[in-house]
Amino acid sequence: MDNNTIKGQGKGLKVLTLDDKFQFDCHEGLNCFTQCCRNVNIFLTPYDVLRMKNALGIPSELFLQEYTHTFIGKNGLPAVSLKMGDDKDRSCPFVSSSGCGIYQDRPWSCRIYPLQPESTKLTEKSGKQYYSIMNIPFCLGFQESKISSVQQWLAEQGVPVYMEMEQYFKKITMNPFLRDKVIENKKIQQMYYMACYDLDRFRRFVFESSFLNQFETDPEEIEKIKDDDVALYKFAMKWLEYGLIGQKGFKVKPEVMAAKKQALGIK
């Protein structure tokens, strides 16, 4: 592939590597500005929710209640999408004529626009990243003169940290153990939803339930998750790995295990 080839909408090869270049820019001067923020389905990742609720300065519970829809995926696990407005255009609740009100903390799918990842088993096995350009007929950004490599664009839009945080989530959702299962247990669904999306409630669960009496934990890690949401998110993902797919991220305290065995009559 010629890395000097400029790829725009409908031009050149459709699959781009990190080194490939494309022509695009978005700014307030375009007649289509914010049109892409209307009548669209935006699925939110756990890290999206973390960033957005903190940008608004509200608890995760309130954010989820006010700004999201919850649905159950094919695997039986909850997921959330952004709740669009009730106006005729179904506008994003954070968009205005001057742009996004939470731009620095906008969701991953908005951030990566106009690129979309192309992922197959082959690309995952190769360890390489491939992207395509979305086909958005009304978008005038493709007529702008700015030329960027895919890697440069991702860096400018602050995508790398989102990709890093997504890996913790994917370790669970992409685990072969869960791929062929459908989770129907309501308690598991609720625990998953809390650990993924409702981090403030998950923090209360850790500190106000018997959690810390049940499991061996690192005092420094526990101290950190008291007020560090990213550390709490990683802790929550480790908890889900333990609970859903049997990873050894947590260990029951010996005295708790002994008491359980005694209660069950196990020697």
- Give the pLDDT confidence of 24-34 residue by residue, as tens digits: 999 999 999 99
Same domain, 92 and 199: no
Same domain, 116 and 208: no
Same domain, 134 and 109: yes
Q: Percent of the chain having pLDDT more than 70?
A: 88
- pTM assigned to the model: 0.89
Q: For the chain, how long is the longest CA-to-CA vector?
A: 74
The secondary structure of residue 87, as a DSSP letter, is S
Range of the domain at 239: 176-258
Confidence of residue 262 (pLDDT cuts 50, 70, 90): low
Nearest-angstrom CA–CA distance, 49 and 64: 8
Mean pLDDT confidence for 79-100: 92
Mean pLDDT confidence for 176-189: 89
Nearest-angstrom CA–CA distance, 143 and 119: 27
Secondary structure element (H or E) that encloses residue 54, with its range: helix 46-56
Read off the pLDDT of residues 29-73 as tens digits, 9 standing for 90 and up: 999 999 999 999 999 999 999 999 999 999 999 999 999 999 999
Q: Quickly list H helices, 40-99.
A: 46-56, 60-67
Does residue 225 form part of some domain?
yes
Same domain, 192 and 161: no
CB neighbourhood size of 1 (10 A) = 12
Same domain, 219 and 108: no
Domain count, the chain: 2
Same domain, 193 and 213: yes
Same domain, 77 and 156: yes
Q: Show which of 139, 166, 193 is a domain's final residue.
A: 166
Same domain, 153 and 185: no
Does residue 1 form part of some domain?
no
